[in-house]
Structure 1
Amino acid sequence: MAPTKTDNQKPIIKKLNDFYIQTRRKYLVQLTEGKYITLNKDRMENVFYLNDGMIKRHLNGDLTYGIFAGGYFNKFISFDVDCETRDAARWATLRLIYVLTEEFNIMRGHIHVSLSGNKGYHVDLFFNKPIAIQDLKAFYTTVIQEVGEVPNGEIEFRPSWSQGVKLPLGVHQKTGRRCWFVDTETLEPIKRYDYILDIEPMPADTVTDQYFDLSDEQAAEFEHVVESTDITANVADYSAGLKRATRILDAGQLLESNSRHHVTFDLAKFFHSQGYEGDEAVTHILTVLHNTPRDYFHSDSTPDFWRREAERITALVFDRGYTFGNTDQPIVIHKSEILAVLSCGTFKTKQLLYAMLVTSKRYGKSFYLTAPTARKMLGTKSNETVTNALKRLADGGFIEYTRKGEIDVAMSRDIGRPRYKPNKYRLLIDEPAADEPSVQVTQEQSVVEVAFLLCDPAEIKQYVKRREYENQWQ
């Protein structure tokens, strides 16, 4: 069947945009042999954003495109049925539709199935509100448990940030088959492009009570903030988001007009990473906003709206555990740095200096450290233990304060009692030589593990007292 005429493609392209596309920065292109390549605007200089012209070529069958989820939210879920035979795929798809309708009370009219172009099917559900990816995955897992074992195949979750799914209504570049939507009773192809025009999204609370009251525009803005702040070129550099957060906190106000949403998100992640409670984070964020000149905001933006947005975004960040993007990436530790750690004092002091070393490599030599974060680093509930360890490190010349005991004037005024800003520190450990031994480590590895990777037991014993070695290092 020939592709639709140009005049009729516009509403179809709009529907594909509305239902499927959460991010345009990263997408799939299918090659003639059926394989896919991933194009990512953030990593490839000459890549275009996914646009309507590309979708038009997709509908014409010239090229075939696929999409990814934005990373945190999506407005649809696709069950990708992939089996060795068409009969097995047909059985699995009909079984899945039965489970969705009978076990999860989803109306058949809200289930939309399309051909994969090979042997399988894509079973799609569309929602009226964006849903967190992890909640969609939880729903998927529950459904698949009810479906049971799929003979000679599997049903996979799509899309995620790392695994995309092909857009419907295009042509499979290897088989040449058009990926029509199909009848959910018979799985016979519905050879009409305008099928998609009749699709209506279903209520998000049909599958989860954890959806977020975001418009598509707000979700897209959130995803853009995530993408722009979480990408780091070098694990030893500042995260872009953290750097912005620290600049804002130092200034005590917004530094750019119309930046409230981005700053709220960055600050919420910062306070979460520093061990603050959610309500404390909201209070700090609102202090920054209230200290900002009014002309930095949209004319229709109100303090009440700031508060609601700060509460909503902070709850989202804390509930989902969002952090700055380089916290899980490996970093490089050199032997001289570990020897400095071994020489600094008690085992708790060694633990703290090693944790500060890791922090400095991730976020820069000058960094924040709050009491809750320091207690977490040491695995203690005692403020005295933290205070003593910090004093030993400062007295021993391993660290210095770049900010200490500074009162947060605006916060103190608002709460009616003195409130201090988080202390800032700088490491004074010598820079390692270029040719000395080093290892890549992750955040799960302890100072003991890393020390044994770089030093033999005899070297470690030169810096560690016998009782400490017997209790902590064996």
Structure 2
Amino acid sequence: MYQRQIDLSSYPVPCPVCGEQLVCINATHARKHGHETLSDFLKTHGIDYKTLLQRSRKKLTQLYNIDRKSWVVGYETAVGSIEYARQTYYTDYRAARDKGIKSATPYPLTNTMLHNHLNGSAPLAIFASGPSSSYFGFDVDSKELAASHTLKLVDSLEALGIPRQYVHVSFSGSKGYHIDLLIDGKMSFEKWNDIGEYVVEVAGLTDESIEFRPGRKNGQAYKLPLTLHPKTGNFAGFCDNRTLESYDIVRSHNYLFDIEKMPQGLLFPLLARSRQWKREQVEAKKRPPSRAARPVIEPQEMAVAVTSANLLWSAEDKRDKVERWCNVAFDGVGTRYNAMKHIAIYLWHEQGIEDEDELVACLVEINDREYTAGRVRTPSHECVNEYRAFARWVINETDGFYVRERELMITQAEIQWVLGVTDIKARDMLWALLLSSKAFPSKSGWFYRTSDALQKMLSKPRKICRETIAVKRRWLTERGYIETTAAASKREFYVNHIKQHRPMRYRLLFDHPEHSVVLKTVFYDHEMDCRNLLCEIAATLLPVSELKLLKLTA
């Protein structure tokens, strides 16, 4: 049956303190919590609403950067018939009407209009305020195939690195769906649409009826959720983004309230890939047609090389350690086994020998030399299997424990990913972990890093304390930037990380580009603060406009 309006005043809102369902949070309820007045109760607990209608209106305003000077509103012309009209706010309303501007209105978009949208009497479609937007929507209107196409887009977004928890699907009220991305910053319309086109390409839906809101010129309005469809009367609520099960009115409003904005940095790797794909499309159109098959050119990221990345100890410390090994290696009977194991570690992790056979050959050569000198009593042909076992142990079991001398490649996408972190201290820690992940690589992606080592990297001019490291580790984990082996309890932490002297293990949840073009080489060692290195690399890889937007300073 066609609905003309939703009476939201009859729907309950849960008290955020005790969870009791209330039509309106009132003074009687405030007194139950020991407060004399309602205003004192609301202020104490940071509550800025009393009804479900107020809560959803405030949340919509928070999530969507709505242009209150221009919008589209639906008004009823007959039962079951609504027409949409654009409204534009003019301070000099009479002059605008005299010029024949039919859309002119003397009032900006008000809270009452948002209330009318939520109760279904006057649905709203919005424009983004300013030259950028904190939201982006895929408008899927493929009729019978809309559900299938929507799920393909959601799956593609997840495959491209956007966690499903940040992909919000709502029913249009007819046959289509909307897919919303809501970020904690703003992004230009051009960048949003580059991402949208790439996602549609990956999903294989380039020939389907999928539109973007906002478009490149922000010329088309985007219908807000949680209203009634003007023709069908169906409720345009949120859906499960795996099954497209439609939520009812209360569940949809609660879903809206629980939405958290996506960290903008999660979009930067996807933006870099989408722009690389766009450049390839342009280059492909410029190339003359040819019957001969052309080689596939892998996308390349701009990068900066970092040399002398002594993240664990200085060059002097390493030299002293190697000399100590050599001096005590063959100083008596029975020392060959331990000496050759230490030498295998040194050759693999610090000399850059990355092939098992080459490592075994080096150990055999050393054994031959020491056997000839009389310091080893076992000939090398009797030790080959033992040395091969050493090599496999070093390669498979110690990867991630030791630093390996190499150039570290930092790409533009990685810099944008780090700088997308809004919390400054969490950003600094993620940057230190990114450098560590490259100095301590392993095939699984896991690496070890102690709090002391992170403090050394973040010590100039201001040192990050151990408590802050623990807090920001949780912050980064909860927002999908890293994984850790953090213990579930203090006792478990004591057993695993203190009693057994196990440092914390980390893994970054980011797909590092495989191909890069080095624009510059910079120097870094253990005496420098890695925050200065971040500023130097960012200034090389990012345009000035983006640096200003990120407010990055050394």
TM-score (norm 1): 0.42
Q: Which has the larger radius of gyration?
A: 2
TM-score normalised by structure 2 residue count: 0.36
